[in-house]
Structure 1
């Protein structure tokens, strides 16, 4: 009987390497959140390779003016490299770089706060990118634009995750979306949506500091925007409330949100420097609000979505300062925590409560990282 010997090459194929999922990421915005995200990614990169067989490569890192390209992946020396090798760019340059290098499994991360940049989302999706965003603007622009992007995502079979749009790293949007998609009738969503305003009113309501001192303290801790009026005007909370309303498929616009602006009219349009020079003008009005509180009550800045939420035009969206019983869930908030109460038909008067850190770059970055990993798990 003739036996044929088959010789196998000594060069072995690394099966693990072949099975590894390679994901290529372009990051837009490397301020506090972007920098924190990179630190978290670099700290876990090797662990992801070893435990999940997942390799995440950041091939492009950009701010508003320059981008650093690196085919083999940006590392912890990115700041020095970007100074030396950063070049001016358009988003199409990033798309072209990915195409030329035949990268697959693409994710674009938007850590900017720039409304203009969100106009690039459609081009990114059409050229193979999934989207992760901590930028709220795309979800709060016109209803037509909102639907247009979702139609495009469906056409190209891409994901768009934005858990950090509301509640920083808390699993809020995902929870609401799952409840809604499963047929649960959500009847109301109420809460303290802003970590910065949570901190200010939690401390002010029961402390001895003046209101202006509390605003300055929140700014020093990094809870507020560089100009705290962006928090105090209520627009940030309004955007977050609008995003949640649209998760319930309510056809609403930002103009439909009733907003209580906490900034006196005479300080709304002055320079940031002039605002801080006159910030003590806020002290007397808020001291009076505090003195007029009922016994065992505190002040909370609350976002409230209610009405007939089963109708696309039935939602009422309100953002305002409220007197709240100290023994209530909202009244017991501490620090910069956010808290959300989700009322449903099944749960009746007992809401689902989601509470946790509502401010801070590290918390938001962790939420962005979570969204990236959720997309990676689906690839």
Structure 2
């Protein structure tokens, strides 16, 4: 039986879903794959719970009742003392700072699986140094859920690149939040601000919806894909259409934005009135490999196109390559949500486990 020991950092929406999915799948993985997934450490930003091997934790209660404040070195010393092998650190945080720990984790013998996008969207220097460190220590770094949640976007592009298939363009609806907002707005006669509020209630947007409307999250995903294809770009080089008017942007409070979000309505109503009968508005990311241009913007699409026919919070990615010609490969489906993201992380864990002794 192959034993894999997972240290989870982050017990928010994705992390908590991942723990439950892992515990539910554990017995089947033993039987079908001959793999035993253990969770010796579960940690949030302040508290860690260290458990015995094969213990079936009531993990939320245990984290509260038996967890204690920790530093990273406490985790590293614990796994070393226990003699754990096949170590995988899962970064289910959204922390800008936590990725600074990746180098220490790698040196301590950890492979890394990340839902967190930060490590892949920092400077090119950081990006390359991280990969050099991974190579030096013969460690793996899996991050399929960085783009498209559970959809196989990163893996598909990586395989094209490795097989010398020339990718010419990638475009699509990268944000499940903005997909829901514009799909609904173009299908119904309601105010943009009303649909934005509804998206927040349904949990599609960030607590501050300006994070979604700024386009920065989509830009980060574009950068990740561009770098997978060998494009040497920095985040600052991406052209981003910010959908938040200057008087409502991050220089003002969230309370001010919520109070005045109806100011958005005339802007989007004008765009809607300019549409032809068979057109809709979509928020897209576009990566042109031939020009090296990365764009995040609003576009009009035919209702019958792959992007125009999207519903709910689905994402769609069009990958144009030399072999596919004018007909792109289209990958479409749920591109957001804690459950599908957690399932994607679990899939990464299983793939990584296959590579370990």
Pick the TM interval, shorter chain: over 0.9
In structure 2, the CA distance between the partners of 1:74 and 1:257, relative to structure 1 (3 Å rule), is farther
Q: Any conservation in 1 of the 2:314–2:332 contact (CA below 8 Å)?
A: yes
Which digits, 9 at most, give the CA deviation of each residue in 1:238-260, with x for residues without a partner?
Answer: 00000000001111000010000
Give me the CA root mean square deviation: 1.0
- Counterpart-to-counterpart distance in 2, 1:30 and 1:77: 13
Which of 337, 340, 348 is the aligned partner of 2:314? Answer: 337
- Counterpart-to-counterpart distance in 2, 1:218 and 1:31: 19
Which structure's CA Rg is the greater one?
Answer: 1
Counterparts of 1:180-219 in structure 2 under 5 Å?
180-219=161-200
Which of 120, 135, 141 is the aligned partner of 2:122? Answer: 141
Name which of structure 1's ranges 270-279 and 34-43 shifts more when overlaid on structure 2: 270-279
CA shift, 1:273, in A, is 2.1
Structure 1 stretches of 4+ with a deviation exceeding 3 A read 73-76
Other-structure match for 1:370: 347
CA shift, 1:76, in A, is 4.2
The number of aligned residues is 355
CA shift, 1:86, in A, is 1.1
Which digits, 9 at most, give the CA deviation of each residue in 1:339-373, with x for residues without a partner?
Answer: 00000011110101000101110000000000000
TM-score w.r.t. the length of structure 2 is 0.98
CA shift, 1:71, in A, is 2.9
Q: Any conservation in 2 of the 1:60–1:74 contact (CA below 8 Å)?
A: no
| Residue 56 of structure 2 corresponds to residue 41 of structure 1 | no
Other-structure match for 1:168: 149
Other-structure match for 1:305: 287
- Counterpart-to-counterpart distance in 1, 2:2 and 2:331: 33
Name which of structure 1's ranges 203-212 and 187-196 shifts more when overlaid on structure 2: 203-212
Listed as ranges, the gaps of 5+ residues in structure 2 are none
Which digits, 9 at most, give the CA deviation of each residue in 1:221-275, with x for residues without a partner?
Answer: 1111111111110000000000000001111000010000001111112222221
In structure 2, the CA distance between the partners of 1:74 and 1:88, relative to structure 1 (3 Å rule), is farther
CA shift, 1:307, in A, is 4.2
CA shift, 1:26, in A, is 0.5
CA shift, 1:75, in A, is 3.2
Q: Any conservation in 1 of the 2:167–2:289 contact (CA below 8 Å)?
A: no
| Residue 34 of structure 2 corresponds to residue 53 of structure 1 | yes
TM-score w.r.t. the length of structure 1 is 0.92
Counterparts of 1:1-379 in structure 2 under 5 Å?
20-73=1-54, 75-268=56-249, 269-308=251-290, 314-379=291-356
Q: Any conservation in 2 of the 1:42–1:76 contact (CA below 8 Å)?
A: no
- Counterpart-to-counterpart distance in 1, 2:50 and 2:63: 9
Listed as ranges, the gaps of 5+ residues in structure 1 are 1-19, 309-313
